[in-house]
Structure 1
Amino acid sequence: MPSDTLLTAADTDMAAPEQTRPAWGAVFSMSLGVFALVTAEFLPASLLTPLAEGLQISKGAAGQAVTATAFVALITSLFISSAIGRIDRRWVLIGLSVLLVVSNLIAASAPGIVTLLIGRVLMGIALGGFWSLSVATLMRLVPEPDIPRALSIMFMGVSAATVFAVPVGSYLGALIGWRGVFLAASGLALLALLTQILTLPPLPARGRARAGILFEVLRRPGIGIGMSAVLLVFAGHFTFFTYIRPFLENVTGVGVDGVTLILFGFGLANFLGTYLIAFVIQRSLRLALVAMPLTMAVLAVLLTVFGGIPVLDAAMIAIWGLVFAGVPVAWSTWITRAIPDQAEAGGSLIVAAINFAIAAGAALGGGLLELSGPRGVFLVSGLILMAAVVTIVSRVRLK
């Protein structure tokens, strides 16, 4: 079988938005959807100990609920467009939200690890599918000048989940148990589902399905190198962020309360950043793409060299959160401009690149943590981000 038939996507024409007037209610429903998705994605991390105790398994085994979700999301992001063919995208998005509700209910009632993993596999399908279709969907909900603002609104759902999911999940877990938290997540997912049913307009598929679109898109001038830049930026971030707690405990010297407060500051700044980035992109997309990893690289080096003062470390980490908030918005905007006729394929590729970067960054950071400690992790994070800056400045094309 030729290799170009292994990965497929719908050959859909997304060149122009369908809306002459922005459908902000539908955009809000997308934001609520990603809020419900990311909240559910984070729950095992915030409930790891009671989850493991409740199912009578090790914490390591319980952690596989996170691994399963990420792996299935990666695979789904590559195959979703070809799998759904010419089905109306409105019904696909609604179906993915139904999967999210069901996955949380299965997790809430799981008698053991196998059932839990089944629920998380469904969660991974919903996560990978929804993210892959999100950019192309927003392009059809608002006129072109409003796309950066619409993306910012959608990613506010991610930032809100970043701020609230882990602390609220832990707090509610102590009050109503981990099963009750998953039930509450089902309620949130159901709210997102109902909102989408009420607000999403018909989104019929365009074009025809054919094999090899992902490879074809990657072969277009500038797209492959752009995806490499995406991978570098996100790998640099997750090399840093995955191991921020050891840095705060061992270098900054704060306890659990201090870690919680600093991370909450990161989340609040991240939420603000998703609002501000639309204004930067409207001024210059290239400025946004270059300035964000450059600022993060400088912060990583400063934390490596001067880290250890709680107030300064907290301030720099908050700035990192503010800046990083714009990264997914800016690169999603790049997709809409670089390949507007293949936004679904572009969305699939960027979601796959991000998930691979998350895994690679976390793995690299773990090895560095053992070899050189938290400062070494942050230094390498900065070097990866500088490599991203050089790649963007020298190779990434903008239209």
Structure 2
Amino acid sequence: MTKCVCDAVFDSRHAVVDEAPTSPAWMAVFSLAMGVFGLLTAEYLPASLLTPMATQLGVSEALAGQAVTVTAVVALFAGLLVPGLTRAIDRRWVLLGFSMLMIASNLLVAFSSSLAVLLVMRVLLGIALGGFWSMAAAVAMRLVPAALLPRALSIIFSGIAVGTVVAVPLGSYLGELYGWRSAFIAAAAVGTVTLVFQSLTLPPLAPRRPARLRTVLEVLLRPGIALGMLGCILVHSGHFALFTYIRPFLESTTGVGPLGLSLMLLGFGVANFIGTLLAGWLLERNPRGVLVLMPMLVGLAALALVILPASVPGQAVLLAVWGMAFGGVPVAWSNWVARAVPDQAESAGGMVVASVQSAIAAGAAGGGVMFSFSGIDGVFIAAAVLMFLAALLIALRVRVEAPAPGAAAGAALHL
């Protein structure tokens, strides 16, 4: 048993050294950040357009919110299966294929005639989303030297923060001016720009270390990984239960108009971007503390939104606290996994996608159930409780040792 563990550690370190380049390809890294931005834009648009989508399609807001659920469920399975199904294909072409699926999905959603058709078109986005996320960290490891991996991951995941700043409020604004379909057409345009930039900057990436579903399960069974992933799932479930139904909450509590709503979501996005930048600095000093603090702050903000007297300025401040706290979540968990399992980067990526997307699906679906039975306040209270449970689990059972600078494989997770 000891020999197997030692061999695994040796193989892990050897894999990272062997596959890391000697000089960084920063333009290719930025192209991946653009891919993150485009995918997040498409995935989050229903959250900012839920009311007009539901009205025009003749369904309830809770049912319209399942556009997020469908994408997340498909992405869950895509993250596990796509790396293995495409294991013989150059990763550059696979990533370009994801961008093309993203463009197609947005255009087809824009011209959907019913919710059923729209949900089917969101399946294409789910495939692109799950496949891209499963490969992002593995591709980053092949674009920059090992010592620069944390910086590369921060750049890639900054696409999430930029998307939150721009996509959600802009989607709400475009939806109000030109109808919700125009926002998806704009998202398709973003996808087209992303496709061109990636085609010009991504180098050939011959497939290495075939990823299989069995390998994902083996990674999950490594000491400490399963409980860490449970914490990740709880945090993302709580966030997306809140975020999917943020527009109905703000409209029902303060009666904020379209312009005010767009500005409040813009404030959320700006704070999210700041939180992403702060996360990189804080993670170098206290990674465990960051993992605990983020869900605690989101949970407190959610409870305060329900309990405190409703006012536009007060809710704007609470949204900013929430956005800043959640800004570091993708960076923190992805950095943790990349360092914990560097020898099976694509398999670990598939595991993260499965965890996060199952959380998104659970959050959106569970939020819909709570919305139907206990109203919007019930959604926010339940999500806050979930965030506190996640923080408690991480505080009591998950401990991450800060790795030595530049040692991508040097971090260890202890339970």
Contact 1:273 1:321 in 2 (8 A): yes
Supply the AA of the counterpart residue of 2:387: L
Relative distance call for 1:99 and 1:380 in structure 2 (3 A) is closer
Aligned to 1:277: 279
Aligned to 1:135: 137
Aligned partners of 2:105 and 2:210: how far apart in 1?
31
**For residues 338-394 of structure 1, what are the alpha-carbon distances to aligned partners after superposition, in whole Å with 9 as ceiling and x for unaligned?**
111112112111112112212222333344445555444433323222221222122
Aligned to 2:122: 120
Describe the SS at the equivalent of 1:15: helix
Contact 2:92 2:203 in 1 (8 A): yes
Identity %: 50
Aligned to 2:256: 255
Equivalent residues in 2 for 1:1-399, closer than 5 Å: 15-16=16-17, 18-44=20-46, 46=48, 57-59=57-59, 65-108=67-110, 116-173=118-175, 181-210=183-212, 212-251=214-253, 253-256=254-257, 257-369=259-371, 372-398=374-400, 399=412
Aligned to 2:7: none
Q: Which runs of 5+ in 1 are unaligned?
A: 1-10
The root-mean-square deviation of aligned C-alpha atoms, in Å, is: 3.1
Aligned partners of 1:186 and 1:260: how far apart in 2?
21
Describe the SS at the equivalent of 2:188: helix
Deviation at 1:300, TM superposition (A): 3.5
The total of aligned residue pairs comes to 386
Aligned partners of 2:238 and 2:116: how far apart in 1?
33
Supply the AA of the counterpart residue of 2:246: I
Contact 1:40 1:104 in 2 (8 A): yes
Contact 2:110 2:182 in 1 (8 A): yes
Aligned partners of 1:372 and 1:174: how far apart in 2?
28
Deviation at 1:328, TM superposition (A): 0.7
Deviation at 1:133, TM superposition (A): 1.0
Deviation at 1:188, TM superposition (A): 1.8
Aligned partners of 1:52 and 1:362: how far apart in 2?
15
Aligned partners of 2:252 and 2:49: how far apart in 1?
24
Aligned partners of 2:114 and 2:372: how far apart in 1?
33
Q: TM-score, normalised by structure 2?
A: 0.82
Aligned partners of 2:212 and 2:372: how far apart in 1?
46
Q: TM-score, normalised by structure 1?
A: 0.84
Q: Which runs of 5+ in 2 are unaligned?
A: 1-10, 401-411
Relative distance call for 1:176 and 1:233 in structure 2 (3 A) is closer
Contact 1:49 1:59 in 2 (8 A): no
Contact 1:148 1:281 in 2 (8 A): no
**For residues 125-155 of structure 1, what are the alpha-carbon distances to aligned partners after superposition, in whole Å with 9 as ceiling and x for unaligned?**
1111111111222222223333332222222
Relative distance call for 1:319 and 1:53 in structure 2 (3 A) is closer
Aligned partners of 1:64 and 1:370: how far apart in 2?
13
